[in-house]
Structure 1
Amino acid sequence: MSDQLLPHPLAALRAELGLSGEQYLDRLDNVHCALGYGRMAKSRQKVSRWENGVNSPEMPARYAMARLHGIPREAVTELGWPDFLLLAFPDDRPVLDSPWTLAGTVAAVAAAARGGSMQDRRGFLIASGATLTSLSTSWSLALAEPAEASPVTPDEVVPANTRLTPALLDTLEQRLDDLRRLDDVLGGARLRKTAIAEYDLLDGLAKRTGQHGPLEHRLLSLLAESARMCGWLQFDSGRHARAQRYYITALRASASAGDRQVGANTLAFMAIQVYSEGNPQDAVSLVRTAQDAIARRTTPRVKSMLHARAARALSKTGDRAACWRELDAARTEYARGPHDDDPAWSYWLNPGVMRSVNLFQRESVSRRP
C-alpha cells in the first residue's frame, strides 16, 4: 500500500474502501438515488475537488455519504462539512470520548496506538473548535478533582521482576530524555517507531498498576510525556490524526497523574499543530488553558515557554498587540534564570531559542502599520 499521506477524511475513507474517486462517486450515487434524491451529476474531478477544498458537496450528497459510512443523519448538520465524516473512524472515539478517570486513561492509552497503515497516513485533524475546548476544559476539571485510590486485584498485580521502583522509573525517565535529544538530531521520520515502542513499554506497566500512589503517578507522568513525544513525532511527519490521538492521550495521562506541567506542555505542543493546520484562535485557547492551570505552580522557564507559544499563536490570528505582550512576558520570565525544579523537557528553551524570539519580535515590530 502507498505511504502517501491522506489530507482529507473523505480520502481516508476512500482508501479504507479501496475505491478511486470515480468508483466512490458511483457508489455514492446509488445511495443518493436510494434516498430519493435522484441521480447525481458526475464529473471525473468531482471527488478530488471535494477533497481539495475547491468545492463542497451539496446537502443531499452529504446525507448520502452519512448513510454510506454509517454516520447519524443529524451529525451532517450538527458538525458540518467535513467534520461529520470523522464519526466514521471508530478507533478515535475512546481517545475523544472516554471519561476523565484512570479507567478512561487506560482505554485511551490502548486506543492511541491502534490503527493500521491507513490510520497512520491520515493527514488531518480529528478535533477542532468546540471539541478541543471541551477536551482542554475536561483536563482542567480532572486536575481539580483528587484521584481516588482503587484496590489492586490479584490478576492486576505487577510481577515482582517488573514491580515499580524509584530506580526503574529513573531509568525510564532517562530513556525518554535520550529520545528527546535524539529528536533534535534525527527528526520524527527516523524516531517514530522507537518512540512508539517506548510508549508501548510504559503502557504495559501503567495499565497493570490499578491504583493511585506516588510511584504510579510518576509512571503516568512518564507515559504522558511519552505520548506527547509520539504526538510531536507524528506531527513532524504530517500524520495529524495520529498526532492528535497521542496528544489527547497525553492530556488524559497527565490528569490521572495530577501532573499539570506535563499537561500544560502537551497543550502547548497541540497549539503548534492547531495554528499550523487549523484555526489559530483554537491554538490560543489551548495555551490560555495551560497558562491558567499552572500560573502559580511552575517555574519561570515554563512560563516563558508558554508565553512564547501564545505569541506564535496570536501572531497567526493577527492580534499583534497581544502577540507583543506575550513576547515581552516570555523575555521577562526567561530573564529570571533557571530553576532547580525546571522539568527535564524544558531544556530546549535556551539562549539560542530566545534569540529567535527576540528576532521574531523585532520583525513583528518592523511590520507594524
Structure 2
Amino acid sequence: MTYQPPTALPRELLDDPDMQCALAGNDFGRVFRIARERARISYSKIAAECDIKPDRVGTLARGHGRITTFEKVVQIADALRVPGHMVGLAPRPWEVDADPAGTPRAEIGPPSMRRRTVLQAATSAGLAAALPALHRPEAPRHITDAYVDRLRERTDRLRRLDKVLGGGDTYRVYLSEAQATKSLLRQASCTESARRRLTGLYAEQTQQAGWAAYDAGRTRDAVALYEESRTAAQDARDPDLYGNSLAFLAYSVTDDRRTAVAFAEDSCATITARTPATVQALLYERLAWACAVDGRATGTEKALGAARRALEDAQDGEPQPDWAAWVDDLELDIMTGRCWTELGRPLRAVPVLTSALGEFADAHARDKALYLSWLARAYLTAGEVEAAAATTSRALQLATGVASIRPRQRLTPLLDRLRTHADIGEVRQVLEQAQG
C-alpha cells in the first residue's frame, strides 16, 4: 500500500482557488498557513514531513522568506501530496501509483494514448483557473483561409505570453488552443487549402504547448506533443515546422546525448534555399547546443557559424514565421555563450554572455535568470568565485515567483558548488539568500 503522509492535503483543498494560487506562485508559506487553517495540519507535522525546522515553517507562514531550491520544492510536493503540475514539476511517482479513485494515471500507456491524454488535459483540468477570460472566435460552418488567418493571428498574440510567464502559467492555455484546433480538423468542413493550413497551425500550436510543458517540468508531455507536432507538420507538408519539431525533440532529450545530436542533425537536413533565415538560424543553434552538451567543440563551432551566416544573409523584407522571429543576433550571442560554457571554455563564454545580457531586459525574468546561470557557471569554471556568487544572486532574484522549473534546476548545482567556498563573504550571502 502506498504511504500516505499525515500532511497530505485533501482533494477539496487542492481545488480551492486560494490554494491553487499559492501553489502556482510557489508561495509555500501561504500554502502552509492555508493547510493549518483549513485542514488542521499543524506546522510541526509539516516541518517533520518536509524536513524543515519548525520555526522556519512558522516564519514562512508569516510571509517572511521563500522556498527556492528545486529539491525542497520536490520534498514539499511529496509531503503534501501536491500533484507535480501544480508546482511546475513532472508527475511524481506516487501520482503514477495512485489507484483509479485517486490521482489520474497520466504517465501510463503507449505514446499514442499519452498524446490523447495530454491533449484532453486542458478541458478536464480547468483552463479557467489559468486564464478565465480567454475568448476564441466562433468558428463558421465552413472553414476558409481567412478564418485560419484569424486563428494564426491569435496564436501569434498568445505566444507573447511566453516572454513574461513560465510554462506553469501558460501550459493549459497553449494546450487548450491546440485541442480546439484539433477539434476543428475533426469536425469542421474546410476547403483543401484551409485544411492544410489549419493542420500546419495545429503543428505550430502543439510545439508551443510542448515548450510550455517542458518549461513546467512535464518533459514526457512535451515529448508526446513534439511527436504529435511532427506528424501534423508532415501532414501539412510544412518542412520548416517539421524541422522545428525535430529540433525541439533534440532539445528535450537530456539523457541520451547522441540521440539529441541525431535529432538536431535531422532537423538541419530539412533546410533548403527556401527556408527562412530565422528558421535556419534556429535549427543550426539547436544543433550547436546538442553538440556542446555532447562535448563536440568542432561541431558546435561549425553549427554556430552556420547560424550566424543565416542571419547575416537574410534578405530585407524576407517573410519570417512568427514562431521563429525571436531568433536574432542577441539570441545567437547568448546561445554561443551557453555552448562555450558547456564546453568548459570560460574565456570565450564570459565576454559574449556579459555583453548580451547587458542588453537583455529584466522583464523576461525566466530567460534572463537561466542565461545568468550559464554566466555564473562560466565564472566558476574560470575560478572567479565572487563574480559567480554575485551573478547567481541576481539569477535567484529574477527567478523568484516564475512558474518555471528550469531556473531552479540550473541554480541548484551552482549553489552546491558555491558551498565549497562558504568562507567567502559574497558566497555566504548568496547561500543565505537561497535559503530565504
Q: Structure 1-normalised TM-score?
A: 0.59
Checking the alignment, whether the CA contact within 8 Å between 1:220 and 1:254 is kept in structure 2 is: yes
Compute the RMSD of aligned alpha carbons. 3.5
Checking the alignment, whether the CA contact within 8 Å between 1:16 and 1:118 is kept in structure 2 is: no
Residues 1:93 and 2:71 are matched in the alignment: no
Question: How many Å apart are 1:199 and its aligned residue?
Answer: 1.3
Q: Residue by residue, what CA displacement relative to the aligned partner does 1:117-158 show, whole Å, maximum 9, x if unpaired?
A: 999xxxxxxxxxxxxxxxxxxxxxxxxxxxxxxxxxxxxxxx
Find 1:285's aligned residue among 262, 272, 280.
Answer: 262
* CA pair 330-299 structure 1, distance change in 2 beyond 3 A: same
Checking the alignment, whether the CA contact within 8 Å between 2:145 and 2:194 is kept in structure 1 is: yes
Question: How many Å apart are 1:163 and its aligned residue?
Answer: 1.4
Residues 1:321 and 2:298 are matched in the alignment: yes
Partner residue in 1 for 2:79? none
Aligned residues: 250
Question: How many Å apart are 1:183 and its aligned residue?
Answer: 1.0
Q: Which amino acid aligns with 2:281?
A: S
Cα distance in structure 1, aligned partners of 2:247 and 2:210: 12
Residues 1:340 and 2:318 are matched in the alignment: yes
Cα distance in structure 1, aligned partners of 2:155 and 2:278: 20
Q: Which amino acid aligns with 2:97?
A: R
Cα distance in structure 2, aligned partners of 1:310 and 1:331: 13
Partner residue in 2 for 1:30? none
Find 1:217's aligned residue among 196, 205, 220.
Answer: 196
Q: Residue by residue, what CA displacement relative to the aligned partner does 1:155-205 show, whole Å, maximum 9, x if unpaired?
A: xxxx99331112211110011101111111122111122112211221111
Checking the alignment, whether the CA contact within 8 Å between 1:264 and 1:290 is kept in structure 2 is: yes
Question: How many Å apart are 1:213 and its aligned residue?
Answer: 2.0
Q: Which amino acid aligns with 1:114?
A: Q
Cα distance in structure 1, aligned partners of 2:259 and 2:280: 20
Q: Residue by residue, what CA displacement relative to the aligned partner does 1:348-369 show, whole Å, maximum 9, x if unpaired?
A: 102321221343466555579x
Partner residue in 1 for 2:308? 331
Find 1:305's aligned residue among 264, 282, 286.
Answer: 282
Unaligned runs of 5+ in 2: 1-10, 12-81, 126-137, 349-436
Q: Which amino acid aligns with 2:259?
A: D
* CA pair 361-280 structure 1, distance change in 2 beyond 3 A: closer
* CA pair 160-243 structure 1, distance change in 2 beyond 3 A: closer
Checking the alignment, whether the CA contact within 8 Å between 1:315 and 1:323 is kept in structure 2 is: yes
Q: Which amino acid aligns with 2:249?
A: M
Q: Structure 2-normalised TM-score?
A: 0.51
Partner residue in 2 for 1:99? none
Checking the alignment, whether the CA contact within 8 Å between 2:311 and 2:329 is kept in structure 1 is: no
Unaligned runs of 5+ in 1: 20-85, 96-107, 120-158
Q: Which amino acid aligns with 2:321?
A: P
Cα distance in structure 1, aligned partners of 2:96 and 2:122: 13
Q: Which amino acid aligns with 2:218?
A: R
Question: How many Å apart are 1:112 and its aligned residue?
Answer: 3.9
Partner residue in 1 for 2:422? none
Partner residue in 1 for 2:96? 13
- SS of the equivalent of 1:186 reads coil
Map 1:1-369 to 2 at 5 A.
2-4=82-84, 11-16=94-99, 89-90=108-109, 92-94=111-113, 110-114=116-120, 161-209=140-188, 213-275=192-254, 278-337=255-314, 340-360=318-338, 364=343, 365-366=345-346
- SS of the equivalent of 2:157 reads helix
